[in-house]
Amino acid sequence: MFDRTMLMTMLGVLLLIGCTTTVTARTWDLAVTHEKEIDFIARNGSLIGNTVIVDAYNLVGSAYDDDSYTMFLSDADNPKYSIFSVDLTAKNVTAKPILKRDSPSQIPSMAYDSQTQTLFWTNQKEIMKMHVPLNGAPGKPQTLHKLDDKNPIGIALDVCNRHIYWVNSKQLYSSIMRSNLDGSNLTTIVSENLYDPTTIIVDHVNSKLYWIDDEEGIHYKLEESNLDGSERVTLVHGKHQQPIHLVVDRESIYWTDFTYRAVWKFNKDTKPGDIPVTFKSYYDRKAVSPRSILARDNLGNGIDCKAMKAEVLKKISTTLAAPKPTLQSFNNLTTSREESDEAEKCFNGGLFEKLSGSCKCKPGYSGSRCEISSCHNYCLRGECSVNDKGIPVCKCGSAYDGLRCEHDVCNGYCLNDGRCTVDDMGKPNCECKYSSGARCEVTFDMAEICGLYCMNRQFQKTSINTSSCRCAELNQTIEEVLGYDTFNCTILVPILAGFVGMLTIVVIFLSVYISKLRRRPRIKKRFLVNKGGITPLTSRPGASLPADQCEITIENCCNMNICETPCFEPKLRNATSTRSNGKKKEEKNGLLDHMEDGGNSC
Helix H, strand E, coil C: the string for 559-579 is: CCCCCCCCCCCCCCCCCCCCC
**117 CB-side CA count, 13 A:** 13
Largest CA distance in the chain: 163
Q: Residue ranges of the chain with pLDDT lower than 50?
A: 1-22, 324-340, 343, 458-461, 484-487, 539, 559-560, 562-565, 568-578, 596-602
Q: What's the pLDDT at 20?
A: 36
Q: What's the pLDDT at 554?
A: 58
Q: pTM to 2 decimals? A: 0.53
Q: What's the pLDDT at 513?
A: 83
Q: What's the pLDDT at 426?
A: 76
Q: What's the pLDDT at 212?
A: 96
Q: What's the pLDDT at 374?
A: 78
CATH topology of domain 30-306: Neuraminidase (2.120.10)
Q: Is residue 106 within 8 Å of residue 128, measured between CB atoms? A: no
Strand partners, 550: 529
Rounded CA-CA distance 36/454 in Å is: 59
Strand partners, 212: 199, 222
- Strand-pair category, 383-386 with 372-373: unpaired
